[in-house]
Structure 1
């Protein structure tokens, strides 16, 4: 179940300032909430599985996968947002996202409960994120989009998947270990 995602121009990456403009967003479920990422950041969607554990990693790093010969770390977003380890189901997916850091591209996978759809969210339906009251860090949110009267959290991928922050945490031994029950 691989779903390649075409990108018209990989140089045109979105960041927090671009989240206030209309665009296409991949929506997905995580702990009964809807999240979105700009489609230009998505490389592909994979069926969950094939993870290899890496010892001494923090709990939010679920493991690594082999993606056409490249080692790609997979982040459990639920744990990254401060929750408990996500239990994989048959609808769980790994969304491969390309991030750029110091002129280098890196692929990182994120584990989500299920992928919903690609939606066009007009700029008039996108608002700044709230400064308080959210259950995830404010810097992880680029904006809030309104879809059919419901709010969707548009993630700031560069903050959520900050390679500097992940590298710092990756240097520390995991306190709880990373349990995986596939």
Structure 2
């Protein structure tokens, strides 16, 4: 145990996660990466972009790429309705929007309520899954959203 305790607050402190739904699954991302939540508005398409990049929007003078997480994770359908939202993320080197089915809430998870994700073949690179969080009867897939958005297949490198 000693090493964990010595690190201090970083590993043992509870962290807050914004939870959102994609199809039947519920995901969580670090609330500190979230800049704002907006209603969905159709973005301007970009030629030759991957299908999950819906295009770009102009957000107060900043051109923001919009990634549809439902298409990225191969969900069966990507229906746009009044619940569809865009989470604007402020990542180290850029601002990116992700389209999700709906935002649920903000949950505080203690380190001991987060379990290691099983090592199984998945559409999501295992390195992008921080773990599985459990809150009462809910199971959250906790994403390293910064790592997920900076993968080479995203085509969103800051260079």
TM-score, normalised relative to structure 2? 0.83
- Greater helix share, 1 or 2? 2
- Structure 1: give runs of 5+ residues left out of the alignment: 1-17, 170-182
Deviation string 1:102-139 (CA, Å, 9 cap, x unpaired) is: xxx20000000000111111112111111116553312
1:93 equivalent in alignment to 2:81: no
Alpha-carbon shift at residue 82 of structure 1 (Å): 3.1
Which of 8, 13, 21 does residue 29 from structure 1 map onto?
A: 21
Aligned to 1:172: none
TM-score, normalised relative to structure 1? 0.73
- Structure 2: give runs of 5+ residues left out of the alignment: 1-9
Alpha-carbon shift at residue 141 of structure 1 (Å): 0.8
Is the 2:150–2:156 contact (alpha carbons within 8 Å) kept by the matching residues of 1?
A: no
Aligned to 2:32: 40
1:149 equivalent in alignment to 2:141: no
Deviant stretches of 4+, over 6 Å:
none
Is the 1:92–1:113 contact (alpha carbons within 8 Å) kept by the matching residues of 2?
A: yes
Is the 1:126–1:144 contact (alpha carbons within 8 Å) kept by the matching residues of 2?
A: yes
The whole-number CA distance in structure 1 between the counterparts of 2:132 and 2:63 is 32
The whole-number CA distance in structure 2 between the counterparts of 1:109 and 1:19 is 28
Alpha-carbon shift at residue 21 of structure 1 (Å): 5.0
Q: CA RMSD in A?
A: 2.2
Rate the CA distance shift 1:73–1:85 in 2: closer, same or farther, 3 A. farther
Q: How many residues align?
A: 148
Q: How does 1:14-163 map to 2 (within 5 A)?
A: 21-84=13-76, 86-100=78-92, 105-132=93-120, 134=122, 136-162=124-150
The whole-number CA distance in structure 1 between the counterparts of 2:43 and 2:11 is 31
Is the 1:28–1:117 contact (alpha carbons within 8 Å) kept by the matching residues of 2?
A: yes
Between 57-66 and 74-83, the greater mean CA deviation after superposition = 74-83
- SS of the equivalent of 2:74 reads coil
